[in-house]
Amino acid sequence: MAKTRVAFFCQHCGYESPKWLGKCPSCGQWNSFAEEIVTPIARNSTSTRKSASPVSLELVRTAEEDRIPIPDEELNRALGGGLVRGSLVLLAGEPGIGKSTLLLQTALQLQHLQILYITGEESEQQIRMRADRIGLTHPAFYLLAETDMQAILKILHQLKPDLVFVDSIQTMTSSMLGSPAGSVGQIRECAAIWQEFAKSSHTPVVLVGHITKDGLIAGPKVLEHIVDTVLQFEGDRQYVYRLLRTVKNRFGASFELGVYEMAERGLRPVSQPSALFLHQKEEVFSGSAVAATLEGIRPLLVEVQALVTPSLYGTPQRTVSGLDLRRLQLLLAVLEKRGGFHLHKQDVFLNIVGGLHIEDPALDLAVVAALLSSFEDLSISPSTCFAGEIGLSGEIRAISRPAQRIAEAARLGFRRIYLSRYNQDIPPHPEIEVIPVGRVEELYQQLFQG
Q: Is 98 annotated as a binding residue?
A: yes
On whether residue 380 sits in a domain, the answer given is: yes
Burial class (CB in 10 A: 0-12, 13-18, 19+), 218: buried
- The domain that contains 74 carries what CATH number? 3.40.50.300
- pLDDT of res. 48: 43
Residue 29 sits in the same domain as residue 85: no
Residue 214 sits in the same domain as residue 284: no
Residue 442 sits in the same domain as residue 309: yes
On whether residue 59 sits in a domain, the answer given is: no
Residue 141 sits in the same domain as residue 98: yes
CA distances from 27 to 14, 16, 30, 74, 430 (A): 9, 12, 9, 34, 52
On whether residue 249 sits in a domain, the answer given is: yes
On whether residue 198 sits in a domain, the answer given is: yes
- pLDDT of res. 318: 94
- The domain that contains 404 carries what CATH number? 3.30.230.10
Q: Is 3 annotated as a binding residue?
A: no
Give the phi and the psi of residue 352 in degrees, each rounded to 5.
Answer: -95, 120
Residue 160 sits in the same domain as residue 147: yes
* Residue 24 lies in domain: 5-38
- pLDDT of res. 282: 63
Residue 282 sits in the same domain as residue 263: no
Q: Is 99 annotated as a binding residue?
A: yes
**Is residue 42 within 8 Å of residue 2, measured between CB atoms?**
yes
Q: Is 100 annotated as a binding residue?
A: yes
| CA dist., res. 279 & res. 409, Å (int) | 15
On whether residue 45 sits in a domain, the answer given is: no
Give me the tens of pLDDT residue by residue for the chain, a chain 450 residues long: 456 778 888 877 778 888 999 999 988 888 888 777 666 655 444 434 456 789 888 888 776 678 999 999 999 989 988 999 999 999 998 888 899 999 999 999 999 999 999 999 899 999 999 999 999 899 999 999 999 999 999 999 999 999 999 998 999 998 877 778 888 888 888 999 999 999 999 999 999 998 877 667 776 777 888 999 999 998 877 778 888 989 899 988 877 888 898 888 889 998 888 877 776 666 788 999 999 998 877 889 999 999 999 988 778 999 999 899 999 999 999 999 988 898 988 999 999 988 788 889 999 999 999 999 999 999 999 999 999 999 999 999 999 999 999 999 998 889 999 999 999 878 788 899 999 999 999 999 999 876
Residue 177 sits in the same domain as residue 259: yes
Domains in the chain: how many in total?
A: 3
Q: Is 95 annotated as a binding residue?
A: yes
| CA dist., res. 15 & res. 221, Å (int) | 10
Residue 336 sits in the same domain as residue 401: yes
Residue 242 sits in the same domain as residue 363: no
**Is residue 113 within 8 Å of residue 162, measured between CB atoms?**
yes
Single-letter amino acid, residue 268: R
Q: Is 93 annotated as a binding residue?
A: yes
**Cis-peptide, bond into residue 45, ω within 30° of zero:** no
Question: DSSP assignment, residue 239?
Answer: S
- pLDDT of res. 45: 40
Q: Is 94 annotated as a binding residue?
A: yes
Going by their DSSP bridges, the two strands 16-17 and 5-10 should be labelled as antiparallel
Which residues partner with 394 through β-bridges? none
On whether residue 215 sits in a domain, the answer given is: yes
Which residues partner with 141 through β-bridges? 115
On whether residue 56 sits in a domain, the answer given is: no
Residue 302 sits in the same domain as residue 438: yes
- pLDDT of res. 104: 94
Where is 173: in which H helix or E strand?
none
**Is residue 176 within 8 Å of residue 59, measured between CB atoms?**
no
Q: Is 248 annotated as a binding residue?
A: no
Residue 434 sits in the same domain as residue 329: yes
On whether residue 44 sits in a domain, the answer given is: no
Residue 84 sits in the same domain as residue 129: yes
